[in-house]
Amino acid sequence: MNEKGLSYELAVEKPWEHGDSLLAINPAAEVPVLKDENGALIADAQAICEYLEETYEDVKLLPEHPNARAEVRRLIAWFDRKFQTEVTDNLVDEKVIKRLSRTGTPNTAAIRAGHHNIHYHLDYISYLTERRNWLAGDELTYADLAAAAQISAVDYLGDVPWEQHPSAKVWYSRIKSRPSFRPLLADNLPGMPAPSHYADLDF
């Protein structure tokens, strides 16, 4: 929404509490959910992005050609599913969500798996950006934003081994430098400060 220049208000939801307010707008009790000013109620991150692309067309984040669109959607699925399962769930869920939701202690085996798996994904980002201007092609797309959203959550914990993946670091530095991304870098969790490099646009 920042990339498209749309104004919005954020509402904090704790999906592990399955509050009535969240259930009322999404029976799956999952975030994100978009409540548009025109009355539309859209759940699921990809559905929201597709809706925004079709409703607010001044700034395009999906390419025109069907093949290029398919590549963007493939990469969104890669990061929203594969990266989420192999890295984010093992690091952010174990270190942060369990603490906030008070649902147990971190699983050290899962954390080790997350630290191991992230190298594979950073290698893939490097592979893509060494051959393309952005992850999916010449222009920034939802694929870059999906990847950066996952990585920013892990980077908040200081768990991204940037020095071992310089090409991925250059790509993420470009994302961090975009005005649309800077508000995210200002987020903080009480009692869990981000590392000093997290909001530094030059690392």
pLDDT of residue 17: 81
Amino acid occupying residue 12? V
- The answer as to whether 200 is a domain residue is no
35 and 77 housed in the same domain = no
Helix, strand, coil percent content, the chain, rounded in steps of 5: 55, 5, 40
Of the candidates 115, 116, 122, 136, which has an alpha carbon nearest to the alpha carbon of residue 167?
122
Residue 15 has pLDDT above 80, yes or no: no
Q: Is the pTM of this model over 0.85?
A: yes
Question: What is the average pLDDT value for the chain, to the nearest integer?
Answer: 94
Domain boundary among the residues 59, 83, 101 is at 59
> For residue 24, what is the domain's CATH number?
3.40.30.10
pLDDT, average across residues 97-116: 94
21-35, 124-138, 150-164, 172-186: the lowest-pLDDT one: 21-35
Q: How confident is the model at residue 121 (pLDDT cuts 50, 70, 90)?
A: very high
Residue 130 has pLDDT above 80, yes or no: yes
106 and 174 housed in the same domain = yes
Domain range for 169 is 66-185
41 and 78 housed in the same domain = no
pLDDT, average across residues 2-25: 87
pLDDT of residue 98: 93
pLDDT of residue 16: 79
> For residue 140, what is the domain's CATH number?
1.20.1050.10
- The answer as to whether 6 is a domain residue is yes
31 and 115 housed in the same domain = no
Task: Please say whether the dihedral angle defined by the alpha carbons of residues 171, 172, 173 and 177, taken in this order, is positive or negative.
Answer: positive
